[in-house]
Amino acid sequence: MTVRPIIALCWVLSACTRREPSPTATPGTTAPPAADPRVDTPASPPRAFGERVAERDALVRDLARQGVKHERVLAALRRVPRHAFIPDSVKGMAYADQPLPIGSGQTISQPFIVAFMTEAVAPRPTDKCLEIGTGSGYQAAVLAELCERTWSIEYIPELAEQAQKNLAGLGYRIELRTGDGYVGWPEAEPFDVIVVTAAPQKVPQPLLDQLAVGGRLVIPVGARSEVQVLERWTRTSLGRGANAFIVDRLLDVRFVPFLGDGGR
Ligand SMILES: C[S@@+](CC[C@H](N)C(=O)[O-])C[C@H]1O[C@@H](n2cnc3c(N)ncnc32)[C@H](O)[C@@H]1O
């Protein structure tokens, strides 16, 4: 075996992982509302929910040890069967705390990052939640467990099609769209929560415009060659000025680049 393919695989697997936490890391810790997962559950629940439960529980215990505190977020990660979102070739590693390849050069994010980002936006059962970067559909399923309604946009058609199958097979009712998430989902705004899972160089203005007052957006920002920073934007008032948002810089991360012209 030559060294080259190993390096390539390592690069792919390093996407969507954290770097060293910055001292300013302040994930959201809003008190958890009563559990109310809004899942369109078929008459007999898909088998995947009952499979590999012990592995999922162990992963969630590990996430709690790493500092994730939000009970509803931990419960959502305990419930969603991550192994149902990844290709057969990597299913064995589904409950390791690491990103995994899902095809088209993309990854499903590391579970810690999914938990951290979700905790940072603290979804409530009445919230409208938008994800940019559906990928496998896993983060969208986690949001669907926590939000009243969930929307998600994926740029790569092959991934969007696979995510649709993954989510429908598990009974999740999520509005999916194939296209450039830079423009958001104007027909459904405003959103209480927006989670962006690919890194643009600056926060897309349409996403800020589509955030409700009181809404939270979490996004990795920075060029591929630089350390990216996971930022949380909380809208405090209408308008576009700097004083309409509070920005928290949460964590140094490494994400795949935001595709399309808006990522630059
Ligand atoms: C780290 S992966 C996301 C993982 C995904 N959230 C999951 O749970 O599997 C980032 C995803 O963002 C998508 N993406 C990148 N740029 C995008 C854009 N402009 N609009 C929508 N999706 C985009 C990529 O194709 C990729 O699927």
Q: Say what the pLDDT of residue 192 is.
A: 98
From CA 60, how far away is CA 142, in angstroms rounded?
13
Q: Is the CB of 220 under 6 A from ligand 1?
A: no
Q: Is the CB of 170 under 6 A from ligand 1?
A: no
Q: Say what the pLDDT of residue 224 is.
A: 81
- Read off the pLDDT of each residue in 1-24 and give the average, rounded to a whole number: 38
Choose, from 22, 44, 109, 225, the residue flagged as catalytic: 109
Tally of CA atoms within 13 A in the half-sphere of 97 that contains its CB: 17
Residue of the CA atom closest to atom 12 of ligand 1: 133
Tell me, in angstroms, the distance from the centre of ligand 1 to residue 43's CA.
Answer: 31
Tell me, in angstroms, the distance from the centre of ligand 1 to residue 46's CA.
Answer: 25
Q: Which of 153, 183, 197, 221 to mutate to test the pocket of ligand 1 (most atoms within 8 A of CB)?
A: 197
Tell me, in angstroms, the distance from the centre of ligand 1 to residue 152's CA.
Answer: 10
Question: Residue 43 has which token pair?
Answer: 């008459």
Q: Say what the pLDDT of residue 24 is.
A: 34
What structural domains and CATH numbers belong to the chain?
A: 41-263 (3.40.50.150)
Q: Which of 28-42, 54-68, 220-234 has the highest mean pLDDT?
A: 54-68
Q: Is the pLDDT of residue 38 over 50?
A: no
Q: Say what the pLDDT of residue 41 is.
A: 54
From CA 191, how far away is CA 70, in angstroms rounded?
21
Q: Say what the pLDDT of residue 31 is.
A: 37
Instruction: Give this prediction's pTM.
Output: 0.88
Q: pLDDT tens for residues 108-150?
A: 999 999 999 999 999 999 999 999 999 999 999 999 999 999 9
* Nearest partner of 20 among 167, 173, 240, 228, judged by Cα: 228
Q: pLDDT tens for residues 209-231?
A: 999 999 999 999 998 878 899 99
Contacts 24+ apart (CB under 8 A), 214-218: 215/190, 215/191, 216/28, 216/120, 216/121, 216/122, 216/192, 217/121, 217/193, 218/117, 218/120, 218/121, 218/194, 218/250
Q: pLDDT tens for residues 39-54?
A: 555 556 789 999 999 9
Q: Which of 142, 154, 158, 170 to mutate to test the pocket of ligand 1 (most atoms within 8 A of CB)?
A: 154
DSSP 158: H
- Residue 14 annotated in active site: no
Q: Of all atoms in ligand 1, which is nearest to the CA of residue 114?
A: 8
Question: Residue 124 has which token pair?
Answer: 């409530």
Describe the strand order of the beta sheet including 175-178 as a list of residue ranges.
Answer: 17-18, 245-254, 228-235, 211-221, 191-196, 128-132, 149-154, 175-178
Q: Of all atoms in ligand 1, which is nearest to the CA of residue 260?
A: 19
